[in-house]
A and B are shown apart, each in its own frame.
Chain A
């Protein structure tokens, strides 16, 4: 399984764009990259998932370079409610596997 490395914490201000990068140097060919958001005392919430290049949905964008050894979650114009822990998960698209979440990135958005 690909091990992931993320910054422990990040600070930002309302209205700014936030980019959180996750390193996964030994990602396998059939691995997908998924990002989750978690608020205190709640379960993680799916944000976005991708395999390569760029994926965009209504809340975020995910940038994955050609070598796929890293990925960047981009949150446009963050608000106070985006203060949360963000996890990057790399896992295969099918078959048996044990999900391994890293420690996540604690994002604090300031007024």
Chain B
């Protein structure tokens, strides 16, 4: 099975711009979660989508949004970029079975805001 793929892998933007990141989960996985990782804050949960519905949301401002399509692919959008949004953005997909839910992460998108 192909793993989680994320595009683009690297991105450079300037303050005030907006950005859209894409994530394709493992085939058959219906849950997609997004994380932001920075040296200062570590790995922080942004939100999770399951069957096109946002199921959970972390403590991030409304500039961070996402959506999931019927094929489980997901996008996240960050509007009005700030310097502090520079980070590695990770997407993880999971399949829910009756006992455990293991997340499989993609390689991430490295965003640099200038």
* Residues 1-16 of B at the A interface (beta carbon under 8 Å): 4
Q: A99-B45, A101-B43 are in contact. Are A93 and B99 (CB under 8 A)?
A: yes
18 A-B contact pairs sorted by A residue (CB < 8 Å):
A34-B100, A43-B92, A43-B105, A43-B106, A44-B43, A44-B92, A44-B103, A46-B103, A46-B104, A49-B102, A94-B99, A97-B56, A98-B56, A101-B42, A101-B43, A101-B44, A101-B45, A104-B43
In Å, the complex CA distance between A36 and B35 comes to 15
Residues on A facing B (Cβ under 8 Å): 32, 34, 36, 41-46, 49, 87, 91, 93-94, 96-104
- The answer, yes or no, to whether B110 is at the interface (CB within 8 Å) is yes
Closest to A32 in B: B100
Q: State the interface size on chain B (CB cutoff 8 A).
A: 26
Residues on B facing A (Cβ under 8 Å): 4, 33, 42-45, 55-56, 58, 88, 90-92, 96, 98-108, 110
Interface residues of B, dominant DSSP? strand
Closest to B91 in A: A43
Question: Please, which residues of chain B bring their CB within 8 A of the CB of A91?
Answer: 101
In Å, the complex CA distance between A36 and B104 comes to 10
In Å, the complex CA distance between A96 and B92 comes to 16
Quick check: A42 and B58 within 8 Å, CB to CB?
Answer: no
Quick check: B107 and A42 within 8 Å, CB to CB?
Answer: yes
Q: Which of A36, A99, A101 gathers the greatest number of chain B CB atoms within 10 Å? A: A99
